Chain A
Amino acid sequence: MSVTLPAPSAMDRVVGVLRRSPTFAIGFAILLFYAALAAFADLLAPLPPTLSFPYETLKPPGTGQFILGTDGNGMDVLSRTIYGARYAFGIAVPAGIIMVVVGIPLGLLAGWKGGWLDEVLLRVLDVLRAFPTIILAMAVVAAMGPGFLNVILVIGFLDSPIFARIVRAEVLALRNATFVRAAVAAGNPEWRVLLVHILPNVILGATAQLPLRMAWAVRISATLAFIGIGVQAPAPEWGAMIRQGAEYVISGEWWVALFPGLALIGMVLGLNLAGDGLSDLLDPKRRASGK
């Protein structure tokens, strides 16, 4: 407690956070870059993403106006890669929202109430862990039909139990915490114990996981598109672009698959770094040591 020091400015705080976790800083910077790509794709992309130049197919990078070359349909790889960021965010963000909205209440109730709800949650998790998720996702998307919305729903719901488990574990740890006991002793009704006393103490830890789960979402959506049951070409989705480019790699037209692939790796890396950094920053033990 150093009461005598003047209050730190917002800038001090931002710099402090970035210094304490360079991991988070790098991840966050990468995500900012991708967010800018998505937001200003119209300005940044030299050409519309699905504009086809039928006589300019498979031009290598640096041919005329095609900085990164063209694909088999004669579409500009650079423009498509930039627009791909919109698809990545367009899937990761709503899927993340589904995970939070479904997973957190589920985890809260399962952890607090126990009983059949907890059992069901744990069994569902067992199933999810036993199957490779990608196979499960494939099966569901195949049944529901491919498409942007279906991919979001499948990813969001498949991952919410994992989110629920994170919250459940934190609730279990807090259930016997003295302050929760004190809240009951004070005469709090059950809903208030859960929403006012437990939820605010688990939500930060859970949100630290969100970037990691969103990285997973980006990867799965690309994988689904790659095997042809996710977002369909010619939409500029990275997975779909890689699928399309893969067949040309052998014949030497590497650029069609490489650049969307790099973009995908970069975004997943950014989300993972941000997620790891965030968990470090929110870890109360590391925080206390800096006091």
Chain B
Amino acid sequence: MTLLEVDDLHVEFAARGLDNRVRVASALNGVSFKVEAGEVLGLVGETGAGKSLTALAAMGLLRPPARIPRGAIRFEGRPLIGLPDSAMARIRGRRMTMIVQSPLTSLDPLKRIGDQLIRMQRVHGSASRAEARAKAEAMLAAVRIPDPKRRMQAWPHELSGGMAQRVLIAMALVNDPALVIADEPTTGLDVTVQAQVLDTLRDLVRERGLGALVITHDLGVVAHYCQRVAVMFAGRIVEDGPVREVFARPAHPYTQALIASTPGRIAQLGWTVTGGTPPDLYNLPEGCLYRDRCLRAAPACLVAPPRREIGPAHGAACHFAGEAA
């Protein structure tokens, strides 16, 4: 069974400006993807593309002024939109958990990390204190924190950034979830530490057969830690497929531009990139949202392109996907 299925998800924000006009920002404009058990899906895109918003929607954490006018989210076959908070709370933190970007602000500064790991289990289950303690220790060992018994007594402020991120991973996995959503799990960590943390996360996901959704703006993380990738632009998935396929044969002009913007490609191929601003979410253009920045834009692009299959499980939302440039 598909673990997480997001289907044609739309999210919008209504806000009243200083001039008393109500404006609606269309932040997600039909996002569809699936995460299967045992698979790591990378969700990449630039600031404002809607990556984190997608994660919040899946976790049932959207609050007004955000609303979902259209679309469906199913977790283990069960529709999540419209689920009462109490039912959602039983899924969130237990079957589906999240690792966030800023580890130090995500830990309770007034509780020892062992107690936080124990509380995490007792909120969601009926484990005894002793069982929970044993499991917390085992979990710290699993995320490769040296001397876990002693670390149970540590306060959050005593942890380095890398250690704190490991503790957060332990918190996310301690209840044996089926799906982990990691939102920029290593942004802000140093290169050498980032590699260690990502290795740990990948090994755990693999050993336990979890599904994972990794949100990142770093193509390096996608290239080496994800099996499939979905590329987001202006609240839409413009391309998705197996990582090796997409990097070798990017089909959407945006994916192509993204890959061509990496310093390595610039060194090989020169300055080929045309940057640009994302479309105005308050006033979205008709048709393809990438049109204004696209080198291949044609009259056909005034109609929104459907996802075109261009290979096994590889598709792109472009009228010209799969055709030579």
Q: Which 3 A-B pairs have the closest CB atoms?
A: A16-B20, A8-B19, A12-B19
Q: What 1/0 mask marks residues of chain A from 277 to 291 whose CB sits below 8 Å from any chain B CB?
A: 000000000010111
B20 contacts which of A3, A15, A287 (Cβ < 8 Å)?
A15
Kindly state whether residue A5 has any CB partner on chain B within 8 Å: yes
What's the Cα separation between A17 and B18 when bound, in Å?
6
Fill in one digit per residue for A77-101: 1 if any B CB lies within 8 Å of its CB, else 0.
0000000000000000000000000
30 A-B pairs, CB-CB below 8 angstroms? A1-B282, A2-B23, A2-B280, A2-B282, A2-B283, A3-B280, A4-B280, A4-B283, A5-B21, A8-B20, A8-B21, A12-B19, A12-B20, A13-B18, A13-B19, A13-B20, A15-B20, A16-B16, A16-B18, A16-B19, A16-B21, A17-B18, A19-B16, A20-B16, A287-B18, A289-B15, A290-B15, A290-B16, A290-B18, A291-B15
Q: Are A16 and B15 in contact (CB under 8 A)?
A: no
B: number of interface residues (CB 8 Å): 11
The answer to whether the Cβ of B17 comes within 8 Å of any Cβ in the partner chain is yes
1/0 per residue A19-42: CB within 8 Å of B? 110000000000000000000000
Q: Which residues of B contact A291 (CB under 8 A)?
A: 15, 17
Smallest CB separation, B234 vs chain A (Å):
14
Could you tell me which B residues sit within 8 Å of A by CB distance?
15-21, 23, 280, 282-283
Select A20's contact among B18, B280, B282, B283, beta carbons within 8 Å.
B18
How many angstroms from the CA of A245 to the CA of B282 in the assembled complex?
Answer: 61
Cα distance, A16 to B17, chains bound together (Å) = 7
Closest residue on chain B to residue A18 by CB atoms:
B20
The 8 A CB mask of A117-144 against B (1 = contact, 0 = none) is 0000000000000000000000000000
Point out the residues of chain A lying under 8 angstroms from B280, CB to CB.
Answer: 1-4
CB distance from A15 to the nearest CB of B (A): 5
CB distance from B286 to the nearest CB of A (A): 14
Q: How many A-B residue pairs have CB under 8 A?
A: 40
> In the complex, what residues of B have CB within 8 A of residue A5's CB?
21
Q: Which residue of the partner chain B has the closest CB to A14?
A: B20
Mask of A177-197 contacts with B, CB within 8 angstroms, 1/0: 000000000000000000000
Which residue numbers of A lie inside 8 Å of B, CB to CB? 1-5, 8, 12-13, 15-17, 19-20, 287, 289-291
**Chain A residue nearest to B19 in the complex (CB):** A8
Contacts of B15 in A (CB 8 A): 289-291
Q: Which residues of A contact B19 (CB under 8 A)?
A: 8, 12-13, 16
Beyond the given A8-B17, A12-B19, A20-B18, please list 18 additional residue pairs across the A-B interface where CB-CB is below 8 A: A1-B282, A2-B282, A2-B283, A3-B280, A4-B280, A4-B283, A8-B19, A13-B19, A13-B20, A15-B20, A16-B16, A16-B17, A16-B18, A16-B21, A19-B16, A19-B20, A290-B16, A290-B18
CA distance A8 to B21 in the complex (A): 9
Q: Which residues of B contact A15 (CB under 8 A)?
A: 20
Interface centre among B16, B20, B21 (most CB of A within 10 A): B20
Q: Which B residue sits closest to A12, measured CB to CB?
A: B19
Shortest B93–chain A CB gap in Å is: 27
In whole Å, how far is B321's beta carbon from the nearest beta carbon of chain A? Answer: 30
Chain A residue with the shortest CB-CB distance to B282? A2
Across-interface contacts of B18 in A (CB, < 8 A): 13, 16-17, 20, 287, 290
List the A side residues contacting B17 at CB < 8 Å: 8, 16, 290-291
Residues from chain A with a CB closer than 8 A to the CB of B21 are 5, 8, 12, 16
Q: How many Å lie between the Cα of A290 and that of B283 in the bound state?
A: 16
CA distance A289 to B21 in the complex (A): 14
Cα A16 to Cα B23 in complex, Å, equals 13
Q: Please report the C-alpha to C-alpha distance between residue A3 and residue B23 in the assembled complex, in whole angstroms.
A: 13
CA distance A132 to B234 in the complex (A): 58
What is the distance, in angstroms, from A9's C-beta to the closest C-beta of chain B?
8
Residues of B within 8 A of A2 (CB): 23, 280, 282-283
Contacts of A290 in B (CB 8 A): 15-18
Specify the chain A residue showing the minimal Cβ separation from B17: A290
CA distance A12 to B17 in the complex (A): 10
Considering the complex, give the chain B residue whose CB is closest to the CB of A8: B19
What A residues does B16 contact at CB under 8 A? 16, 19-20, 290
- Min CB distance A30 to B, Å, is 22
Measured CB to CB, the closest approach of chain A to B26, in angstroms, equals 12
In chain A, what residue has the closest Cβ to B18?
A: A16
B12 to chain A, nearest CB (A): 15
A215 to chain B, nearest CB (A): 26
Inside 8 A of B282's CB, which chain A residues have their CB?
1-2
Closest B residue to A7 by beta carbon equals: B19
Provide the bound-state CA to CA distance between A12 and B18, in Å: 8
CA distance in complex: A13, B20 (Å): 7
B306 CB to closest chain A CB (Å) equals 27
